[in-house]
Structure 1
């Protein structure tokens, strides 16, 4: 009877439905990403695929610059303001994000024009970088509005649909033997399409009008609030991609392509751990008020995650050859051993993701920043020593050291915050 009452609560039902749609969207994105990577790897070959992956790495390092005024700031502002101020809140956030994204895009294009990157890498990045102009200003702002209503279905459905269409267009370009540089523009087209659909949805819900306005004081507040979280996220993504940034100067693009192929599959596996953390966080961490109960939950969740990651890594280790050959083809045999070692990174990554929930629960933004600064510094130092001696395997050692450093900071904070 209690269970029925819980699910009769519209807030609980809406949250549960949102989690289901989030899971479907993530699984769809992971599946589409693997299919597209397989097609491009076979079409490009290891060397060109390595350049493609390096261009994507550069994009993922640059994109966090546009994440100013994150959801942790924007969503509570939407919730706490009267409904008639929605246009002012969204308009101010859009103006800030669009300004920052435009500057980031222009600086990226300037770097390409000045030949900061290898020519083909730059040509690929030119199209990929346009996604920055649409993702955060359009998609991010409207998605924050949807999150404030615990109703992300429109954005998730749109993302799933455009991902499948993008996979079809990639297939058509491969069949047409298109130049590698053209593929990046598909990602720009996808982000523009998602932004347009969500913009039309917002207008339909508001009588066909956008009605966004900029308020100077709110613009300044958004520019300053959440800066520490923003810097922490930049450090985190730089840490996650540091291995490929440093390997690019130490190994050939063909070897980088094989390493990136293995790491892309591994990162999709790690994403499942992050999805698990996001799913269980509200019930077992965020809503728990008692220190003793929260401490017990954290140790149980950490142990459960460790067991899950070890079991998953063991299975993927055994199937490494089968997976790499069927997804990427015979030219990527060298990725098999890298993948077998890389999947074990999911254990410290999963443990770190669970520990991070306490940091987020208490909004410990300086802990978050310090943690990823430490992880970045440790990984950089280890890479400097290990990559010249071990090559691609040295980069895995650097990632492992960084994850352990980040998990150690989480552990210290948990013991400090949840002490009896």
Structure 2
């Protein structure tokens, strides 16, 4: 068990320990994701792997629809209410998220049944979509309670264990020559397992009972509060997956599989920028009240992030052939060139992530929504012309243009909010 020594303030020690566990969980998830992608890419081949990646893209576009009453609303509410009202707060948020998630799942299955997707893509998505029913209602709500205590270790530890178990089950299904559609149900099983463990932990901490109740007023408040943030997150995730959504109409699933292989690795690399931002945000941004000091901190963070992303992108560019061949195997050679270009997207992505910290610090929800709406519109416009002319490389141009648009909004807001 990790213990933090040398901190006189127990709140600081608890926050530091939380950050350590968050880092361990993220590294584990990234490593497991790369291993699983490599195993499935070799087993499926480029064509089926492209369909698998497209099914995951559809899930990641649909999942934000269930993020109503996000942590930015639920966590402060839990902290502000007396402990006696915890069951009412949790119960009301759970009822809202469960109803929205169930509706999203039913609509997804209805779309699959109606033939809205390729049959194999639909069969894969049918299992993957079940995660929506457990991620936000069970895992998300209980995790918000844990965050309110700055004690996310139970959720993070459970996620690490189940991720490793999922990787083992993927390997077993590959050895058993299972059909591609069966793999999506492993993700559903993982979400059920995490939800069950966290639910049991919550009951254990509350004397063996949940004590959840629904308050109609609180239910309505949760349904409306944070709507702007919610819409902003939907636009952000749609922007991040727009390249694959538009490429599916322009290239074969085999080429989409190679593109997705490169982007899978690149997105895990970009996730490090987000980890960096989450780790340094409390000390260097959120807790700093002096505008001049915050402005100095931001420019230093921009410089540090740019240097780290540039150095990392350079190394990955040089090792692209080695990485692609060893992770994905034969049949994915064309992904090497795409990966070499894609890794440089980490520079604007990292800078955007740092700039976004000030937007979140001051809860500038309309800035967040406007930013991702602009990024989405710019990426869509660039993709329309660039994909037809350059194929997969055109989609990278769309992503680059979108990131630059988002970063520009951040810089404009920083100039306005942190002016001397």
Q: TM-score, normalised to structure 1's length?
A: 0.99
Alignment-derived partner of residue 342 in structure 1: 342
**Following the alignment from structure 1 to structure 2, what is the Cα–Cα distance between the partners of residues 205 and 196?**
14
Structure 2 gap segments, 5+ residues each? none
Alignment-derived partner of residue 38 in structure 2: 38
Q: What SS does the corresponding residue of 1:260 show, helix, strand or coil?
A: helix
**Does the 8 A contact of 1:6 with 1:12 survive in 2?**
no
Displacement of 1:5: 10
Query: Would you say 1:70 and 2:75 are equivalent positions?
Result: no
Displacement of 1:145: 0.2
Query: Would you say 1:122 and 2:160 are equivalent positions?
Result: no
Alignment-derived partner of residue 8 in structure 1: 8
Q: What SS does the corresponding residue of 2:331 show, helix, strand or coil?
A: helix
**Does the 8 A contact of 1:383 with 1:394 survive in 2?**
yes
Which deviates further from its counterpart, 4-13 or 266-275? Answer: 4-13
Query: Would you say 1:414 and 2:414 are equivalent positions?
Result: yes
Query: Would you say 1:153 and 2:149 are equivalent positions?
Result: no
**Does the 8 A contact of 2:127 with 2:184 survive in 1?**
yes
Alignment-derived partner of residue 132 in structure 1: 132
Query: Would you say 1:94 and 2:116 are equivalent positions?
Result: no
**Following the alignment from structure 1 to structure 2, what is the Cα–Cα distance between the partners of residues 384 and 97?**
35
Query: Would you say 1:386 and 2:392 are equivalent positions?
Result: no
Q: What SS does the corresponding residue of 1:7 show, helix, strand or coil?
A: coil
Query: Would you say 1:292 and 2:301 are equivalent positions?
Result: no
Structure 1 gap segments, 5+ residues each? none
Alignment-derived partner of residue 185 in structure 1: 185
Q: What SS does the corresponding residue of 2:213 show, helix, strand or coil?
A: coil
**Does the 8 A contact of 2:69 with 2:93 survive in 1?**
yes
Displacement of 1:249: 0.3
Alignment-derived partner of residue 264 in structure 1: 264
**Following the alignment from structure 1 to structure 2, what is the Cα–Cα distance between the partners of residues 334 and 7?**
51
Cα deviations across residues 374-403 of structure 1 (Å, max 9, x unaligned)?
000000000001000000000000000000
**Residues 197-236 of structure 1 correspond to what in structure 2 (within 5 A)?**
197-236=197-236
Alignment-derived partner of residue 244 in structure 1: 244
Query: Would you say 1:164 and 2:168 are equivalent positions?
Result: no
Displacement of 1:128: 0.1
**Does the 8 A contact of 2:40 with 2:49 survive in 1?**
yes
Q: What SS does the corresponding residue of 2:214 show, helix, strand or coil?
A: coil
Displacement of 1:74: 0.2
**Following the alignment from structure 2 to structure 1, what is the Cα–Cα distance between the partners of residues 283 and 309?**
21
**Does the 8 A contact of 1:51 with 1:120 survive in 2?**
yes
**Following the alignment from structure 2 to structure 1, what is the Cα–Cα distance between the partners of residues 331 and 137?**
40
Change (3 A) 1:116 1:71: same
Displacement of 1:328: 0.2
Q: What SS does the corresponding residue of 2:7 show, helix, strand or coil?
A: helix
Displacement of 1:6: 7.2
Alignment-derived partner of residue 54 in structure 1: 54
Cα deviations across residues 347-391 of structure 1 (Å, max 9, x unaligned)?
000000000000000000000000000000000000001000000
**Following the alignment from structure 1 to structure 2, what is the Cα–Cα distance between the partners of residues 112 and 8?**
56
Displacement of 1:330: 1.3
**Following the alignment from structure 1 to structure 2, what is the Cα–Cα distance between the partners of residues 400 and 31?**
25
Query: Would you say 1:323 and 2:320 are equivalent positions?
Result: no
Displacement of 1:8: 1.7
Displacement of 1:342: 0.1
Displacement of 1:19: 0.2
**Following the alignment from structure 2 to structure 1, what is the Cα–Cα distance between the partners of residues 222 and 190?**
27
**Following the alignment from structure 1 to structure 2, what is the Cα–Cα distance between the partners of residues 180 and 110?**
21
Alignment-derived partner of residue 403 in structure 1: 403
**Following the alignment from structure 2 to structure 1, what is the Cα–Cα distance between the partners of residues 5 and 37?**
45
**Does the 8 A contact of 1:229 with 1:368 survive in 2?**
yes
**Following the alignment from structure 2 to structure 1, what is the Cα–Cα distance between the partners of residues 320 and 45?**
20
